[in-house]
Chain A
Amino acid sequence: MLERHSALARATPYRSSILRMGEAREFSLVQVAGFGKAFEKAITPFLGKLPAKVGNALDQHGRTLMRTEPNQFWIVGPENDDIAAKLHTHAAVTPLSHSRTRIVIEGAPARNLLAKGIPLDMHETAFKPGVFAMTGLHHTPVLLHCVGENRFELYAMRTFALSVWEWLTDAALEYGSQIATSL
């Protein structure tokens, strides 16, 4: 029986009383792309209203829709989501569930933690729930989605996920982790 093996399967967990960090598995990520308005019209019946511009996320029908390029969306849904099959004839559908490792970061210091590595304004008036940004962390591309006042979902490239995790847990040492650090 083939079993899934996460990029963070052997990562050292992070523990702290004020900051929670960990991998959030069990999701599906499907990228749909097409050309022009006709494409958007074709997929709307399956997805609902589409986010108007790059950087906006909409939660609909148990899925999160993100416009990641002018003609491209990410659909984050439950692990067994069948949306890919439904959209197949209407758009270029690319399953990407394995390509990203999703890390949840939650707690009062979350914004300060992220500001140590992400060159975006993390102030609560600037990066609000419902907003996402594709940016860089530790020299790697990441998608950061603000899902609550101090709750974030970070999509790291799977092959870089352990490095990103090690970077995060190192940066979060001051918030009270029990793991040891290395130089």
Chain B
Amino acid sequence: MTAFRRLATGGRIDRTRRHAFHFDGELCKGFAGDTLASALLAENITLVGRSFKYHRPRGFVSAGVEEPNGLFTIGEEGRTEPNISGTTIELSDGLKARSQNAWPSPAFDMMAVNSLAAPLFQSGFYYKTFMGPTKGSWMFYEPFIRKAAGLGAGTYMADPDRYETRYAFCDVLVIGSGPAGLAATLAAARTGARVALTEQDSELGGSLLSENSEVNELWRTEVIAELESFPNVELKSRTTAQGIYDGNLVALLERRDHLRPQPRKGEARQILVQLRARSIVFATGALERPLVFSNNDRPGVMLASALRTYLNRYAVAPEQRTLIVTNNDTAYGAAFDLAAAGVAVSVADHRSTIAPALLNRAASAGLAIFPGTGIADVEGSKGVVRGRLSGAHAAVVECDAVGMSGGWSPAVHLTSHGGIKPRYDETIAAIVPGDLAAGHFGAGAVMGTFGLASAISLGSAAGINAAAFAGLTRKSKPVAPPAGAEDHSYSILPVWTAPRESKGKAFVDFQNDVTARDIRVAHEEGYHSVEHLKRYTTLGMGTDQGKTSNINALAIMAGLRDVPLADAGTTTFRPPYTGMAMGAIAGRTIGHHFRPHRRSPLHDWHQANGATFLEAGLWMRAWYYDWAGDTPEAAYVKEMELVRKGVGISDVSTLGKIDVRGPDAAEFLNRVYVNGFAKLPVGKARYGVMLNDDGVVLDDGTTTRLTDDHFYMTTTTAQAGEVMSWLEYLLQTQWTDLKVHVTSLTDEWGGMAVSGPKSREALQLAFPGSNLSNENLPYMGCLDIRQDGVRIRLLRLSFSGELAYEVHVAADFTASLWEHILEAAAPLGIKPYGLEALASLRIEKGHVAGLELDHRNTLDDLGLGKMAGKEKAYVGKELRFREKLQAPDRWSLVGLELLEPDRKLRGGAILFAAGEPIKGHGRGYITSVTWSTELGKFIALALYQGGLKHEGEEIICAFPLKDEQVRARIVSPHFIDREGARLHA
């Protein structure tokens, strides 16, 4: 019966440092240097979970990242992490691990009844059961199925740990620190290259850590010591290369959580590093694959290499007897080491002919060898009692553990991320990397070369070549291998399918409970392509992504289809190589730091003076002020009244501001605006509209001529960046003959609008030395004045429709000037008004803004067609006159008045003609809504089919989200002061 024990000596564990941990509430003990898996095995806990669908008892299969079975939920509360493989968790004191998918415990699992209903869960179960006529039943069964099948559950609590991201650069990146990786790193380091070595394990050494060779261990420690002496080398253990992307971008996950269970303030638990390497050496090794036979998922059936790792690295061995089943030479390493540790070892070898040297050594080590023999089945329910052999020696062998080796699969994952298909190499019955991309090099088992001597010599060469590719050609002497290192033979006999005698479930993918029979069913039902096979059976999905199962499945399918394995194809390898915390992907891009905020120079003042903020794009804008009310609805109406009747001041610093200068500045503006700017007099501002090349409105704003060759442009807040890039595009790529410079001044200048019938009076109080009369500063005029030596630009512009000015000043002075105006004009009752009132005032005036300028509307749609110059050329002129853009029934700008006094208009409401069925997209929609203080009712701007041709008609505004319909009348969008008397006052 399966049983494991800790040996008194040996291994790489530190017996002086004990770690106590909990597994399913039970207190267990292990040592520093253990993994959760090795510590559990040392405690003889071999049944650690239940399988995904059938709830079969499961134990550890492997000792590494490929682990399909031994998944745990680690940690508590916000630190709960499900589906973590016990083979990769470093044991720490106080660790809390729970088994998954078993209730009440893995040993006694109620859901094991699923095994009896097994036929239900075969390939395509969901499709067959819940598609077609029985589709509705999914609703009923889903909760039961979700509960019965699955992996661990996450938590809804916030993760208290910190995650970060970082950028890094190097000349040569070496991935993997086995003998090939160590040799590559050392060889590259000697050229002077900046080298980074990443290793997912806690220790450097790769396969060397699983061996029991003093001479190799000496080589390993000497090489690492030498590497540590190089200032140009960075050794990064506990760092997994998760993916390779364009331009040799490598995603590295650095794990630091082992260092401190409770990280210090500001210390990241995991860091996702975006590393740019000039060249890469892949030394990612290979993964051993299981054999397919009945009940090969029983706890105690493990990879032969895993038994060797547990023995040599963790001093954990099967109690008495081990059966090794293999089709190649490598499993003998485990057999010899186990025998030396006092375990009785039998070896069933699929091959009839075994190298004499191996047989001689086996004989002297006391191994029982069964050539030409495989394994058909194991007996035992929650562990292994005996193995049933088949073939030349159909014996029954009592054992505590079965170590299987179906050969080795190079870890080609990372080499394939760039889209390079791996290929099948018949000589080693394995998938190996395809032709590597330029700047990519490989060495060791990942390239399909097994053996220490060649790993080191090829690794050394790869390191030198990678450094040369990165431009470092200094001579580097090859790395010397340990004394006596040689390449052992591999001589694999491919074995993919279960022997005929295998009657029970023979698993291919342990994690997803996919059996050889499932693959047969998929084949019978026509799912032949590997991509279809994967999706029909779920094979290769889950946390292990089929690291142990893919090639066996491919081979079985190839056999069923009767095609060579090389022609069967492979599924696509995608990042990440191993599971990772979502937190690491987010890094600090969470909460407050999710995105940057843009703040006006008046932000601090707003904050200190009762403003409520609204996020508009990235900007934090003062929405309304508490002097006017506690809610936006109450406040904006009072703020509007302030502007209509007295004087208010509002922050317009967010407007895009662009300095346009150069001898051709006037010509340039004359081209980009639809209306003329060539003859704009100095000291005058003009409203302008720009189109895209496609004839659709891009943006509007006012531009002022300061001198002959110097203009001050403003854009809408939302389009500022877009307009700036567009102007630069035109000047730098299309009109390179024009001598014009454009510079953004959005951050240099702050701005405020002083609006209302008393605004001139207010500014005159603030700037008593300046002549602000209607003659000296008329509508659309510009005046630069100085106050305390500071230049101030007064522009007589109006967004609200009232007599109004914009006051612009350098950003650092904006707050001080704002306070000065408030103080000077206090006798007039001046107060600040916010974005909501600003935007509402312009609706009354009928000014279009961002909601109407949505990159879909033409000048004519917005009622601005007459602005465009008839004779002059301007951007977008030709395509503006496309037939469809000139169609008379286009949705165009109208005003709406609500006809039902106690109800509301809503932005986004869909418009229908009166009496029309309320269905579909309607004839238009409302873009902007406000309460009109002047008219005492709700008004709106809208786009309506045919536009003002329907002026005076009554329509329906439907708002299906609230199941509302209200009546409104189409009117002119200019609700107030159509003659502009107020503007010119």
Contacts and interface: CB of A to CB of B under 8 A. Distances in A.
Verify that A and B bind, or say they do not. yes
A140 B595 CA distance: 10
Contact of B593 (A120, A166, A175): A166
B160 to A, nearest CB: 9
Contact of A174 (B267, B274, B276): B267
Nearest to B605: A5
B811 A99 contact: yes
Contact of B274 (A92, A119, A170, A177): A119
Contacts of B810: 95, 97-98
B815 A170 contact: no
B500 interface: no
> Max chain B CB contacts within 10 Å: which of A1, A122, A183?
A183
A1 B815 contact: no
B268 interface: yes
Interface in A141-161: 157-160
A4 B598 contact: no
A156 to B, nearest CB: 9
Contact of A121 (B169, B595, B747): B169
A146 B941 CA distance: 52
B877 interface: no
A96 B820 contact: no
Interface string A1-17: 11111110110000000
Which applies to chain A's interface (DSSP): helix, strand, loop or mixed?
Answer: loop
A181 B815 CA distance: 28
Contacts of A117: 167
A71 to B, nearest CB: 8
A15 B820 CA distance: 35
A164 interface: yes
Contact of A163 (B597, B814, B817): B597
Interface string A40-54: 000000000000000
Nearest to B267: A174
Interface string A87-117: 0000010111111100000000000000111
B812 A177 contact: no
A131 interface: no
Contact of A95 (B158, B268, B600, B748): B748
B816 A5 contact: yes
> Max chain A CB contacts within 10 Å: which of B604, B812, B813?
B812
Given A160-B598, A163-B597, A177-B266, A92 B591 contact: no
A158 B601 CA distance: 8
A183 B811 contact: no
B29 interface: no
B596 A138 contact: yes
Interface in B252-300: 264-268, 274, 276
Given A31-B743, A99-B745, A4 B595 contact: no
Interface residues of A, number: 54
A65 interface: no
Interface string B801-839: 000000000111111110010000000000000000000
A163 B816 contact: no
Contact of A159 (B164, B747, B812): B747
Interface in B587-633: 588, 590-593, 595-601, 603-604, 607, 619
B749 interface: yes
Given A9-B604, A98-B812, A183-B591, A139 B743 contact: no
Contacts of B274: 119
B599 to A, nearest CB: 6
A57 interface: no
A58 interface: no
B659 interface: yes
A43 B165 CA distance: 43
A170 B588 contact: yes
A119 B167 contact: yes
A123 interface: yes
A4 to B, nearest CB: 4
Nearest to A162: B599
Given A115-B167, A173-B265, A183 B659 contact: no
Which applies to chain B's interface (DSSP): helix, strand, loop or mixed?
Answer: mixed
A171 interface: yes
Given A118-B167, A175-B266, A157 B747 contact: yes
Nearest to A169: B266
Nearest to A95: B748
B741 A140 contact: no
A2 B811 contact: no
Contacts of A7: 599, 601, 811
A98 B816 CA distance: 14
Contacts of A123: 169, 194
Nearest to B619: A159
A99 B593 contact: no
B787 interface: yes
Given A159-B747, A160-B598, A167-B593, A98 B169 contact: no
B373 interface: no
B811 to A, nearest CB: 4
A159 B599 contact: yes
A118 B166 CA distance: 8
B485 interface: no
B265 A5 contact: no
A77 to B, nearest CB: 16
Nearest to A178: B265
A160 B746 CA distance: 11
A92 B748 contact: no
A123 B167 CA distance: 11
A2 B813 contact: yes
B883 interface: no
B395 interface: no
A12 to B, nearest CB: 12
A33 interface: yes
Given A10-B604, A170-B593, A174-B268, A2 B659 contact: no
Contacts of A125: 194
A126 interface: yes
Contacts of A1: 788, 816
A174 B266 contact: yes
Contact of A2 (B267, B661, B741, B820): B820
A162 B593 CA distance: 12
B907 interface: no
Contacts of B813: 2-5, 98
B840 to A, nearest CB: 25
A38 to B, nearest CB: 12
B590 A183 contact: yes
A21 B744 CA distance: 27
Contacts of B864: none
Interface in B759-799: 787-788, 790
A162 B813 CA distance: 17
A140 to B, nearest CB: 5
A175 B598 CA distance: 27
B747 A163 contact: no
Contact of B601 (A5, A118, A167): A5
B168 interface: yes
A2 B165 CA distance: 43
Given A2-B817, A4-B816, A159-B599, A98 B266 contact: no
B739 interface: yes
25 contacts: A1-B816, A3-B816, A5-B812, A7-B599, A96-B748, A97-B748, A97-B810, A98-B747, A99-B744, A99-B746, A99-B747, A99-B748, A115-B167, A116-B165, A116-B167, A121-B276, A123-B194, A126-B169, A139-B596, A162-B599, A167-B593, A170-B588, A174-B265, A181-B266, A182-B592
Given A126-B169, A172-B266, 10 more contacts: A5-B813, A94-B745, A98-B748, A98-B749, A99-B745, A117-B167, A140-B596, A158-B748, A167-B588, A174-B266
Interface of A: 1-7, 9-10, 31, 33, 35, 72, 92, 94-100, 115-123, 125-126, 138-140, 157-160, 162-164, 166-167, 170-175, 177, 181-183
List of 6 A-B pairs having minimum Cβ-Cβ separation, nearest first: A173-B266, A174-B266, A99-B748, A163-B596, A4-B812, A183-B591
